[in-house]
Amino acid sequence: MYKEKRLFRSEFVPIRGLRYHVHRWGDASQTPSALPSLVLVHGWMDVGASYQFMVDAFSDAFVQGRVIIAPDWRGFGQTGSGQADNFWFPDYLADLDFLLDHYAPGQAVDLVGHSMGGNVAMIYSGVRPQRIRKLVNLEGFGLPATRPSQAPGRYAKWMDELKSLHRGEMALKGYDDASGVARRLMKTNPRLPADKADWLARHWARPDADGTWQILGDAGHKITSAQLYRLDEMMEIYQCISAPTLAIEASDDSLSRWWRGLYSLAEYHERLKRVPQASTAVIGDAGHMLHHDQPAQLAHLIENFLA
């Protein structure tokens, strides 16, 4: 089992009618420094604890006196869903806004987001530029551009999938034990070592009353969004980002595998040109879960960028 260098503690914060779970690293009794808070937001079907390996890889000098938090988004981890049967992207922006009001009122923070969380971080940083000192986007590529003609079919698909969800046809698979969850994680990410997979499994899933290990993610997250991805809107938001931005990607090209020609890494790099102060970096020998694959490389890049 992986042994943490820095233990987090769980905090629960009332946010918009939900009991939001937040991982917080560091000694709460120490006198806070003037360093900006570091906020880490996770991706789809992940949890805030996923950042543990990267936090452990930070230097003591970087961590000393710094507030580091990683929330579980609504409907993930230990944060409830509010009985929602699907999830709307603007809610993540509002949740983050309320969380920053709680943890860093009136202060600009350093924001790191992975995958879906990277997309949230990019949008939030353009909508609330005064709240972000520096921004790190970990493979938050956005989505392929859409056309208005796709709207009728998208709404119909959304309603059809809602019916499937309520018929119980979209439930997440359960596992006999934590080892089964760990094997699932390693199957998805072959680079993930067994010790880290065993550790993650116990934060990514929990046993239910029958002893079956259930993924801590609401099945409603599988519902296709009724909203089209409006690239023109995203580009207007990107150009409003005032924070220095570091876009980090893995050496594996996830986009080619996911979208099969519908959206490419070259198109993503073109979009980044709309961000006024954007730079890029690549983590070698890593896939999409680069904070699991190469946490030391990633921590070093982030430390140098935020310094």
Residue 187, C-beta contacts closer than 8 angstroms, at least 6 positions apart: none
* Average confidence (pLDDT) over 273-295: 98
Element (H, E) at 153: helix 151-166
pLDDT at residue number 26: 82
What is the per-residue pLDDT across 127-164, written as a single tens digit (0 to 9) for each?
999 999 999 999 999 999 999 999 999 999 999 999 99
Cα gap 139→66, rounded to integer Å: 25
Q: Domains in the chain, please, with CATH?
A: 8-145+229-306 (3.40.50.1820)
What is the per-residue pLDDT across 183-196, written as a single tens digit (0 to 9) for each?
999 999 999 999 99
Query: Residues of 43-66 as b/e, b for ≥16 C-beta within 10 angstroms?
Result: bebbbbbbbbbbbbbbeeebbeeb
**Percent of the chain predicted with pLDDT > 70:** 98
pLDDT at residue number 34: 82
Q: Alpha carbon of 261 to those of 115, 238, 265, 272: distances in Å?
A: 19, 23, 10, 19
pLDDT at residue number 27: 67
Cα gap 277→55, rounded to integer Å: 25
Cα gap 43→119, rounded to integer Å: 9
What is the per-residue pLDDT across 261-279, written as a single tens digit (0 to 9) for each?
999 999 999 999 999 999 9
